[in-house]
Structure 1
Amino acid sequence: MRELQLASYDYFLPKVQIATHPIFPKEAAKLLVYERAQDKITHATFKDFSKFLPPDTLLVFNNTKVLPARLYGTKVIQDSKAQTQTSGAKIEALFHKEISPNVYLMQFKGRLKVGHLVSFGQGIFARILKSQQIESQNPDTQGVGFKEAEFFRVSQPQTKSSQSFPQDSLESPLSRKEFFEFLEHFGHIPLPPYLKRKDTQEDKNDYQSVFAKHLGAIAAPTASLHFSEESYHDLKNRFDSTEITLHVGAGTFIGVNAENILEHKMHKEQFFLTQDSANKIQNASHITAIGTTAVRVIEEFARNGALSGECDLFLHPQNKPLKTQAILTNFHLPKTTLLMLVASFIGLDKTKQLYEEAIAQNYRFYSYGDGMLIL
């Protein structure tokens, strides 16, 4: 069956249509509106977004906040004199989630084994505790390993450089508060690899929704990036709305490998919703989800009724939404679970048709790109 074959979710996108920076004002971004009942396509902009919404719809926003989760450090080795020093090898690290006190799941680029140390400067080091390589057809994740690491500070002054410490130095484990303060001060906004550029000071604002509240995501819920303070508050005044939280995690950067998509093991992401949000979702006659992440929380709740937990729900054409009628979403990478989620609303063939239309109309794709509203 074509809709279960990974190859069916591939498409060609001219590189010039990959958006590397957002458009300002945000309301000027293009919006492709597809109305299923009439099988109708309309080309508009986000300035007119609210005009297409049913008056009784419930808008569901994801209020997760992106962490400056990317760190740059240097590999540490031990020399023959039992003096621990840096090797000079550059290491890139991406925080994913807290596993237990002072144990964090990290994604490292560089050759690291259990017991190896990485220096991040300021006397802060990470020690690899456990290693797990992943397999991926995505060139951005080949050779990238998920590892559990502990973080600590060398408690005595550095004797040689901020990148090295004597073997007999005392180690002070970082508290949770200290670790996240370290990320806030020295971490970088984790722009998606396909943007192929370094993050800038502007990205700290641009890659964050105006309603972001709860720190924990390593990628932005990108449909949310289209709203300014003014347009967001206008929507809140005109429509019933609520907020949920899903911290976007590792799966954002990992492609599907299984040729039969049903064999794909979905990543887990932490989610939370209040009882008030749950009541609104349960009682709503029509729901418009602002982004794929909002859809996943709505549909997770619709299936098990939990207000919090880890969501690994995989929506695709054979696992359709039960509660969500409409979705605002960006245009996603080929062969991703996000593209398959879009197909769960409108089917594979219609999804590919709309993507072809967007390409033909010169829409901008991916995180900083234009959007599509499916009604």
Structure 2
Amino acid sequence: MEPKDLLSLEAYDYELPPDRIAQEPVEPRDASRLMVVDRATGRIEHRIFREIVAYLRPGDLLVFNDTRVIPARLFAMKPTGGRVELLLVRRVAADRWWAMVRGRGVRPGLRLQLLSGNQPIDLHAEVEAEGEGPLRLLRFSVPPEGWLERLGVIPLPPYIRKPLHDPERYQTVYARAPGSVAAPTAGLHFTPELLARLREHGVRFAFVTLHISLDTFRPIETPDVREHKLHREWCILSPETAEQINRTRLEGGRIVAVGTTVVRVLETAARYGLGCSPEDVCPWRTVGPFEGETDLYIYPGFTFRAVDALITNFHLPRSTLLLLVAAFMGYDLMRRAYQTAIAEGYRFYSFGDAMLIL
């Protein structure tokens, strides 16, 4: 395939047998399979996730996304009695959220009454504005922070059709910052016991936050992938984490991103957290502290400045996540790894198996 074709959406399509889409997580978390891919040699190995310890060195820094999935799925009723489903997407203020709305005739000025089960309660949401497609800006009579845990439901990706018996299974064991509508799935494979083994091995840990929006599941629809618009997501890389990353690099350790969301935070902080232009490279610091929104869109041709290795799941075709992986490991190797995963019976997507790209 010619390099120019790597910007064509068709290059990121593939056929996946439906039975390869994981409908439930394996137990324990670290019993999932792990494909290990060496970018330098092209070698592919097949392991169990808990064996990742063998590929990490003392002095390496694992960077995790500590976001926590909120119970963002709500149900409401129109004045006519019609039922409406709400999915909170992005917080604008304490009482105002953008939400995806499933229901007819939901226009600005409409007042929705929230439901607890099938019972109306004394909480309301007024539609203030329309956004793209089903997006609506809602103003709540009482900020959701006080009642969301009681009324809301954890939203699962649309390709998962089995109910989740334990909502905590869609959270990482280190999740602590509420704000996402989807889990950073690469982190779902870690157990407290595995983290303890890694720490004993000399691997260090650092945390960033990126609150994941539904854009993570939105397929690219433009024939040229460069024309796709990535929505903004809020993220933070603290001064303490920036110091850990910079010190690790100076001491010869590797920065290992746990998931594509961490890649986006680190690469954003490598460009904008240092206070220099995106074209400049700081010779003595890898990243600087950063807090704000990012719309960093990574596809083949991107130059990585902060990430040395990546732990990630197997992603949807025609997705921005797949493009990020192709940019990091190289398109041809990505295609070969995915073809191998399908042939070897790996489980795909949120509750699926993982890949370590070195």
Normalised by the size of structure 1, how large is the TM-score? 0.85
Q: Is the 8 A contact 1:281 1:298 kept in 2?
A: no
The one-letter code of the counterpart of 1:133 is E
Q: CA deviation at 1:110?
A: 1.4
SS at match of 2:59: coil
Which of the residues 230, 237, 241 maps onto 1:277?
241
- Which residue number in structure 1 is paired with residue 175 of structure 2? 212
Q: Is the 8 A contact 2:311 2:354 kept in 1?
A: yes
- Which residue number in structure 2 is paired with residue 91 of structure 1? 84
Q: CA deviation at 1:205?
A: 0.9
Q: CA deviation at 1:196?
A: 2.6
**Alpha-carbon deviations, 1:176-200, whole Å to 9, x = none?**
3xx1232100111110011134x44
Q: Distance in 1 between matches of 2:200 and 2:296?
A: 31
Identical residues among aligned pairs (%): 38
- Which residue number in structure 2 is paired with residue 227 of structure 1? 190
Q: Distance in 1 between matches of 2:296 and 2:248?
A: 21
- Which residue number in structure 1 is paired with residue 152 of structure 2? 187
Q: Distance in 2 between matches of 1:40 and 1:126?
A: 54
Alignment of 1:77-156 (within 5 A): 77=80, 86=81, 89-111=82-104, 112-121=106-115, 122-134=121-133, 145-152=134-141
Q: Is the 8 A contact 2:42 2:333 kept in 1?
A: no
- Which residue number in structure 1 is paired with residue 281 of structure 2? none
Structure 2 unmatched ranges of 5 or more: 116-120, 274-288
The one-letter code of the counterpart of 2:23 is T
- Aligned CA distance change for structure 1 residues 94 and 338 (closer, same or farther; 3 Å): same
Q: Distance in 2 between matches of 1:299 and 1:236?
A: 25
- Aligned CA distance change for structure 1 residues 237 and 90 (closer, same or farther; 3 Å): farther
The one-letter code of the counterpart of 1:245 is T
Aligned pair 1:323/2:306, yes or no? yes
Which of the residues 216, 222, 235 maps onto 1:252?
216
Aligned pair 1:334/2:317, yes or no? yes
Q: CA deviation at 1:321?
A: 1.7
SS at match of 2:147: helix
**Alpha-carbon deviations, 1:15-56, whole Å to 9, x = none?**
101001000012210000001122110000112011112333
- Which residue number in structure 1 is paired with residue 286 of structure 2? none
Q: Distance in 2 between matches of 1:364 and 1:182?
A: 36
The one-letter code of the counterpart of 1:240 is R
Deviates further, 107-116 or 361-370: 107-116
Q: Is the 8 A contact 1:129 1:147 kept in 2?
A: yes
- Which residue number in structure 2 is paired with residue 307 of structure 1? 290
- Which residue number in structure 2 is paired with residue 167 of structure 1? none
Q: CA deviation at 1:284?
A: 2.6
- Which residue number in structure 2 is paired with residue 362 of structure 1? 345
Larger radius of gyration: 1
**Alpha-carbon deviations, 1:257-313, whole Å to 9, x = none?**
211111111111111122110112233332110011111111110011142000111
- Which residue number in structure 2 is paired with residue 288 of structure 1? 256
How well do the aligned residues superpose, as a CA RMSD in angstroms?
1.4
Q: Distance in 2 between matches of 1:133 and 1:196?
A: 26
Q: Distance in 1 between matches of 2:200 and 2:295?
A: 33
Q: Is the 8 A contact 1:269 1:310 kept in 2?
A: yes
Q: Distance in 1 between matches of 2:135 and 2:58?
A: 45
The one-letter code of the counterpart of 2:244 is K
Q: Is the 8 A contact 1:250 1:267 kept in 2?
A: no
Aligned pair 1:6/2:6, yes or no? no
The one-letter code of the counterpart of 1:73 is A
Q: Distance in 2 between matches of 1:3 and 1:282?
A: 33
**Alpha-carbon deviations, 1:219-239, whole Å to 9, x = none?**
000000001111123223430
The one-letter code of the counterpart of 2:270 is A
Q: Is the 8 A contact 1:315 1:321 kept in 2?
A: no
Q: Is the 8 A contact 1:67 1:217 kept in 2?
A: yes
Q: Distance in 2 between matches of 1:4 and 1:266?
A: 16
The one-letter code of the counterpart of 1:107 is M
- Which residue number in structure 1 is paired with residue 76 of structure 2? 73
SS at match of 2:109: coil
The one-letter code of the counterpart of 2:342 is I
Q: CA deviation at 1:101?
A: 4.1
The one-letter code of the counterpart of 2:223 is E
- Which residue number in structure 1 is paired with residue 59 of structure 2? 56
Which of the residues 206, 213, 224 maps onto 1:242?
206
Deviates further, 279-288 or 311-320: 279-288
- Aligned CA distance change for structure 1 residues 75 and 200 (closer, same or farther; 3 Å): farther
Q: Is the 8 A contact 1:270 1:310 kept in 2?
A: yes
Q: Distance in 2 between matches of 1:237 and 1:146?
A: 47
Q: CA deviation at 1:98?
A: 1.6
Structure 1 unmatched ranges of 5 or more: 78-85, 135-144, 153-173
Q: Distance in 1 between matches of 2:71 and 2:101?
A: 15
Count of residues paired in the alignment? 329
Normalised by the size of structure 2, how large is the TM-score? 0.89
